[in-house]
Structure 1
Amino acid sequence: MVTDQKHSSDISSEQEAIRYTEKLAQAFGLNEQNAEMYSTLSGENRSLKKQLEDYHSQHNSLERRVKRLERDVGSLKIKLQDLDEYVDRETVVDLIHEIVPTLINKKSRGSSYSSESSEESDSEKDSEAPSPKKRFGRKMHIVKNKNN
């Protein structure tokens, strides 16, 4: 009977050791998985940090570009105001109204879909267009700068 008790306690100790070993194996396996996951997440984190730095750099570059463009726009507005002092807008608009229809007529003559009669001779077409002297002979009204 003593041997039976000793044998039974050996079996329970052995079973306990097996359970303990299984627990260690499970814990070690989880730690291994955790280490792999940590490594993967650390790599992702480094990648995201790098992207953030790149985006931050691009953002700063774009901000500088926007500020430069805003300064350029301001400078152009000042130049436009200066031009407005020197050039009579009405004269410019009149010149545009003369030039644009002439250009449109020239373009439509070169097209096969011209609305003009095909019987019209080249000399008739040329006589319709005002000469460069007529078109540009008009003097532009120039307003002198009051500061000069």
Structure 2
Amino acid sequence: MPRKTNIPIRKRAVVGVILRHNAFLTIRRSQQVVAPGKVCFPGGGIEHGESEQEALVREIQEELGVAAIAGARLYETVTAWGTSVAWWHAHVEEDVRLVPHTAEVAETRWLTPQVLLRDPDLLSSNRDFLVAWGRSTFAIPGIAVPPDWDETSG
């Protein structure tokens, strides 16, 4: 998927899109990290020499204390501050107990796309991801765009 921006890339990051019963796993960021208190999908920076899949698995382990399996690469965005973000479908076991790392994650929640879009604390890049999905720019395995989808409800 080609980049459609002239913003120079300064950093690379990865985001995990994890589903359970038509709801996305989201985190509320702690007060000790960038964008404190914001709601987003789990993820973070890609370290030097690390693949996107390796970073995805590491970030989910660090933030949520669980093993994840990388699925398909879904989407790519570039933030206004020059971070190239790779959005990956990921899987965690159904009955796994999430153990948030409190220095990074204040809370976890499973939210439907409609509820997530209405959350005033949702990071703008996550909102853009959901809007692109709602416009069928890409598909997320295991979930269809709801028939009553309204990307303006946020």
Rg (Cα) greater in structure: 1
Q: TM bucket by the smaller chain? A: under 0.3
Higher helix share: 1
Higher strand share: 2
TM-score (norm 1): 0.17
TM-score (norm 2): 0.16
